[in-house]
């Protein structure tokens, strides 16, 4: 038995964690175990990567298989991490097409959540750059799935939260970059209106995202820093810098769970205000920053999830479809009125995605952390209601709380997904705490 | 690939420690050949290293350490003769089964001692006639003193340790260096599921770094984590009348 929880450390459960060391064992385990789901590095926040009965760790599937520098396609086992991919290929001038906000995630986890990055509005999700997947099914079959072979299973596996079987390996597309630096431009938006407009205006940028201060109230409600980013070219790189800097990860770490009172409204309010003001001072000017500072600022602080103390935290990420922006105002209003503490939250424009159960749709997404407390859980239930009412949805990779109604309202292809699970014999056999909670 | 690349032959190309050793040597510009009885599994490790390190050119050869008659033809087919051979082949086995099942006991003894010793003796002869070479054998602290819980394995490793020390003694004047590596606890599939004490447990990468360090500064006997030297000194110093009553 092992303690098992997601990155938010809520909910906490315990259960058996099976380790496998090669793809054959992983396929056999997928077929023999019942109530099982695969787990990568456990960076999903809630209960997605915990099996209903047994959890199957895919981290032993950590071999790369081949790389073709002509096409940029990397074939690798599903447990290979994004950190290793960048460490291996950035010095050779390649970078993943899509990266989430942490690099301690696996290929399997990125496919299963169909993760999005700061370039989703232009370049789509991680799944859009997956060429093929080797998938182990509960009936002992191992299938190669792609847009041409078993396309329905392929579409259901991208964003399918591990519920179609265990991803054993995949072919993923990398892109060429000239340096490991990002030219970043900051814009300050004094309120939500300005932030939304600014995100729209910066849409031609390869990367764009807003850090939003969800505690600011009144006229300043929704004040944000919008960070545009472009891969720096070799010719523009400031003189004397090496083209491919290595990561400075691991300098500081949160050594233990911080007492909850350290995160009261006042300290977070002060931090957010300071962050905004500091950023606003640099607005308009270009800065050239390293890839890890731009994409993975939180990775610089090991175990930062312990900062929320023993009770853990929940992450809420919703998307509000285009045209219903007023709901976003209402959500922010409730959050700031409740003084519900969250360090920097993220606001970003999304475009539709291709997986049956993928999260992105055309609209705006908001992501924020809240420490677990009875008041915050009630608040989040209310917010879920607003999201569902607006025709939006909640991101399963972050979710620990949403109701079945909210879920069903948010994912219109759910029926097709369930039918496909029936067809491949996954229902009841491939199951996570999340799928059990949501009635899948 | 450079003409001056040095060659490593690694016996036990499917092991976790072996994988880390091969990666470390390849990262440092060596040409590596993985020898393994399970060629497919070793090829998975070779492909991994070759993908991460495009100049590595890691190759795989089939070798079962229990098939001692195959050694001559295996060695004849090696081109070139490697600069260094590292042997990580081993088998922990099941002590209780070994007590009642002589076949199992024999397998443990032959895998940890007979096979590796005979192979290294043969390659040593070729190193001597060429004029140089490096032999690194991964043995175990379990061979420092027999214990109830694993003496089939421990006694075979003791034999291997003594073999390496004798070989080192014989080749000292022949420009062939022989090193004995005692890893202590290492987090690998051999120890998967065991509850290992953190301070005494190394990672495969640590073992690889210590082994590769021998190329730069030749050493005779190394404990991967220095604390093991002390631990084993204490264990060896306990008088037998007391030791035999301990539950170890
Ligand atoms: C700091 C931080 C920032 C983040 N930023 C973003 C972001 O910007 N955009 C975004 O989209 N996400 C983001 N995330 C979420 C994260 O990218 C996803 O949760 C991702 O799925 C985690 O990968 P993992 O390997 O840890 O998977 P886990 O958390 O272990 O698993 C996640 C899901 O994938 C499934 N899974 C894992 N491996 C396999 C496999 N081999 N086969 C089948 N299913 C599998 C699991 O069953 C589970 O449903 C962030 C998370 C953190 C902690
Ligand atoms: N892990 C520890 O805590 C620890 C501690 C002290 C010493 N050691 C020693 O370190 C070495 C490596 O161990 P490890 O932990 O990496 O474990 P491992 O993965 O089990 O390695 C054992 C290796 O020996 C190979 N082998 C076994 N029988 C063979 C045969 N007949 N022919 C050819 N190869 C054979 C195995 O190949 P297959 O894959 O084909 O089985 C495997 O590659 C071993 O000598 C072990 O005794 C380990």
Q: Given A21, A22, A64, which is nearest B52 (Cβ)?
A: A64
Nearest CA to ligand 1 atom 28: A42
Pair of tokens at residue A143: 């299938």
In angstroms, the CA B108 to CA B102 distance is 10
In angstroms, the CA B58 to CA B50 distance is 6
Spatial CA neighbour of B139 closest among B84, B79, B86, B181: B181
Residue extents of the structural domains in chain A: 181-404
Taking the CA of residue B52 and the nearest CA in chain A, the distance in Å comes to 6
Please answer whether residues B179 and B220 qualify as being in contact, where contact means their C-beta atoms are separated by less than 8 angstroms: yes
CATH assignment of A181-404, among 2.40.50.140, 3.20.20.410, 3.30.70.2520, 1.10.8.60: 3.30.70.2520
Contact list in B for residue A66 (CB cut-off 8 A) is 47, 51
Contact list in B for residue A19 (CB cut-off 8 A) is 192
Pair of tokens at residue A426: 């996954």
Q: Which pLDDT belongs to residue B191?
A: 86
Spatial CA neighbour of B85 closest among B35, B150, B23: B35
ipTM of the complex: 0.91
Contact list in B for residue A76 (CB cut-off 8 A) is 51
CB-defined contacts A:B, below 8 A: 24
Taking the CA of residue A396 and the nearest CA in chain B, the distance in Å comes to 32
Phi first, then psi, for residue A64 (nearest 5°) are -80, 150
Cα B91 to middle of ligand 2, angstroms? 5
Q: C-alpha distances in angstroms, B236 versus A220, B136, B179, B231, B232?
A: 72, 24, 21, 9, 6
Strand partners, A370: A314
Mean pLDDT for the stretch of residues A78-85: 98
For the domain made up of B7-243, give the CATH fold: Rossmann fold (3.40.50)
Q: Which pLDDT belongs to residue A17?
A: 95
> pLDDT per position in chain B (248 positions), as tens?
445 789 999 999 999 999 999 999 999 999 999 999 999 999 999 999 999 999 889 999 999 999 999 999 999 999 999 999 999 999 999 999 999 999 999 999 999 999 999 999 999 999 999 999 999 999 999 999 999 999 999 999 999 999 999 999 999 999 999 999 999 999 998 888 888 888 899 999 999 999 999 999 999 999 999 999 999 989 999 999 999 998 87
Q: Which pLDDT belongs to residue B1?
A: 40
Cα B99 to middle of ligand 2, angstroms? 21
In angstroms, the CA A355 to CA A227 distance is 28
Pair of tokens at residue B132: 């140089």
In angstroms, the CA B210 to CA B225 distance is 9
Phi first, then psi, for residue B208 (nearest 5°) are -60, -45
Please answer whether residues A172 and A158 qualify as being in contact, where contact means their C-beta atoms are separated by less than 8 angstroms: no
Q: In chain A, what percentage of residues exceed pLDDT 90?
A: 80
Q: Which pLDDT belongs to residue B86?
A: 98
Please report which confidence band the pLDDT of residue A260 belongs to, taking 50, 70 and 90 as the band edges. Answer: low
Q: Do A74 and B51 touch (CB under 8 A)?
A: yes
Q: Do B51 and A21 touch (CB under 8 A)?
A: no
Residue extents of the structural domains in chain B: 7-243
In angstroms, the CA B89 to CA B108 distance is 11
- Reported as a single tens digit per residue, the pLDDT across A287-327 is 999 999 999 988 877 788 887 778 888 899 999 999 999 99
Q: Which of B25, B113, B153, B223 is flagged as catalytic?
A: B153
Mean pLDDT for the stretch of residues A187-194: 96
Please report which confidence band the pLDDT of residue A268 belongs to, taking 50, 70 and 90 as the band edges. Answer: confident
Nearest CA in chain A to B54: A67
3-state secondary structure B225-244: CCHHHHHHHHHHHCCHHHHC
Q: Is the pLDDT of residue A69 over 70?
A: yes
With an 8 Å Cβ cutoff, is A88 touching chain B?
A: yes
Q: Which pLDDT belongs to residue B2?
A: 44
Q: Quick one: DSSP state of residue B50? A: H
DSSP string, A268-298: HHHHHHHHHHHHHHTTT-EEEEEHHHHH-GG
């Amino acid at each position: 038995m092992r303690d098992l929880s997601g990155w938010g450390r809520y909910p906490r459960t315990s259960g058996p964690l099976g380790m496998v060391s090669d793809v054959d064992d992983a396929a056999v385990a997928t077929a023999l175990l019942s109530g099982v789901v695969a787990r990568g590095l456990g960076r999903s926040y809630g209960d997605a990567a915990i099996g209903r009965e047994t959890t199957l760790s895919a981290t032993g599937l950590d071999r790369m298989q081949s790389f073709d520098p002509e096409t940029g396609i990397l074939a690798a086992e599903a447990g290979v991490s994004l950190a290793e991919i960048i460490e291996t290929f950035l010095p050779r001038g390649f970078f993943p097409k899509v990266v989430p906000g942490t690099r301690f995630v696996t290929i399997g986890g990125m496919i299963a959540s169909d993760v999005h990055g700061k370039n989703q509005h232009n370049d789509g999700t991680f799944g859009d750059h997956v060429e093929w997947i080797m998938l182990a099914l509960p009936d002992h079959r191992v299938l190669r799935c792609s847009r041409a072979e078993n396309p329905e299973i392929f579409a259901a596996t991208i964003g399918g939260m591990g519920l179609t079987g265990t991803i054993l390996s995949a072919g993923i597309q990398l892109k060429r970059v000239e340096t490991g630096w990002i030219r970043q431009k900051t814009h300050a938006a004094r309120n939500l209106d300005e932030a939304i407009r600014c995100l729209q205006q910066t849409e031609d940028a390869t990367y764009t995202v807003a850090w939003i201060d969800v505690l600011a109230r009144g006229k300043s409600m929704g004040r944000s820093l919008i960070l545009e980013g472009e891969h720096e070219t070799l010719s523009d790189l400031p003189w004397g810098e090496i083209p491919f800097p290595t990561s400075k990860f691991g300098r500081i770490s949160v050594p233990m769970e911080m007492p909850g009172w350290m995160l009261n409204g006042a300290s977070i309010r002060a931090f957010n205000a300071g962050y905004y003001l500091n950023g606003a001072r640099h607005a308009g000017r270009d800065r050239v920053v390293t890839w890890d500072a731009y994409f993975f600022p939180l990775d610089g602080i090991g175990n930062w999830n312990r900062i929320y103390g023993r009770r853990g935290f929940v992450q809420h990420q919703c998307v509000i479809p285009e045209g219903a922006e007023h709901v976003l105002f209402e959500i922010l209003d409730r959050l700031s009125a409740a003084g519900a503490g969250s360090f920097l939250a993220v606001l970003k424009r999304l475009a539709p995605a291709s997986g049956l159960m993928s999260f992105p749709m055309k609209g705006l997404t908001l992501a924020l952390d809240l420490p677990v407390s009875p008041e915050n859980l009630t608040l989040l239930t209310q917010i879920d209601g607003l999201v569902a009412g607006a025709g939006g949805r909640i991101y399963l990779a972050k979710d620990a709380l949403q109701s079945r109604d909210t879920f069903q309202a948010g994912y219109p292809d759910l029926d097709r997904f369930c039918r496909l699970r029936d067809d491949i014999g996954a229902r009841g056999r491939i199951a996570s705490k999340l799928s059990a909670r949501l009635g899948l | 690939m450079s003409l001056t690349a040095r060659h490593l032959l690694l016996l036990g190309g499917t092991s976790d420690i072996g994988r880390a050793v091969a990666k470390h040597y390849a990262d440092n510009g060596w040409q590596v050949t993985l020898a393994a009885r399970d060629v497919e599994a070793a090829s998975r490790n070779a492909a991994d290293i070759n993908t991460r390190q495009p100049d590595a050119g890691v190759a795989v050869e089939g070798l079962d350490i229990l098939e001692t008659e195959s050694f001559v033809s295996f060695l004849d087919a090696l081109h070139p003769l490697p600069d260094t051979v590292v042997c990580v082949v081993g088998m922990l086995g099941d002590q209780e089964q070994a007590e009642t099942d002589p076949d199992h006991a024999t397998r443990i003894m032959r895998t940890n001692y007979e096979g590796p010793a005979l192979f290294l003796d043969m390659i040593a002869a070729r190193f001597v006639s060429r004029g140089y070479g490096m032999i690194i054998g991964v043995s175990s602290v379990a061979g420092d003193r027999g214990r109830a819980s694993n003496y089939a394995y421990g006694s075979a490793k003791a034999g291997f340790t003594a073999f390496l020390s004798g070989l080192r003694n014989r080749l000292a004047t022949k420009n062939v260096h022989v090193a004995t590596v005692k890893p202590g606890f290492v987090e690998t599939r051999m120890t998967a599921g065991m509850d290992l004490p953190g301070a005494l447990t190394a990672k495969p990468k640590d073992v690889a770094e210590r082994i590769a360090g021998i190329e730069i500064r030749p050493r005779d006997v190394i404990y991967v984590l220095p604390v093991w030297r002390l631990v084993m000194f204490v264990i060896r110093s306990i008088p037998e009348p007391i030791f035999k009553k301990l539950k170890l």
